[in-house]
Amino acid sequence: MAQEESLDVAIPRDLARESHLLSIDAAGVFVVHGEPAVYLPVAVSDSPGGRPTIYQLPMRKPTLMGVLIHHNTVYRNVITRLSDTEYAMTQESPTGTVLFAGKGTLRVLDDRVGAGEIVFESEEEPGEAVGAVAAKKRRCRYRWYVWSFIATGDCD
């Protein structure tokens, strides 16, 4: 009979399975529904746990760009490159609560310093009018500087 692995080895290994390098010094504030949220980006690095710049994301591979802390909930900010200029973003909690999901087009603002912007628009179709007001799509403006090392965001 094989000897069982001790918990002091198994638990840290399992918890570290999805470890990421968070860039604390590049942390910032995003605005979510008019309220501040803390954003901790994953470091741009070739090291395990790092990520490529937004310009070098692999095609169709969801990439954790950072974590957003809003109302005491942590949301994974994941971006997937769909084509050379089209991207999809989701902000989802570990329990499956989606804060935002949408698609947008990359716009390079200054290629000398790696500044760019994507305005993601939610994928929900506008529903039927409720009273006299029709449902509208939500937007999330995501800007970054220094090849996506420093990011800002504003989501309605």
What tens digit of pLDDT does each residue of 103-133 get? 999 999 998 888 899 999 997 544 444 444 4
Strand boundaries in 4-126, DSSP class E: 28-32, 35-41, 63-70, 73-81, 86-92, 98-110, 115-122
Contact 127, 135 (CB under 8 A): yes
What pLDDT shows up at residue 148?
A: 67
What pLDDT shows up at residue 134?
A: 47
Locate 97 and state its tokens: 């609560």
Half-sphere exposure of 89 (CA within 13 A, CB side): 28
Task: Please tell me the least confidently modeled range out of 39-48, 49-58, 124-133.
Answer: 124-133
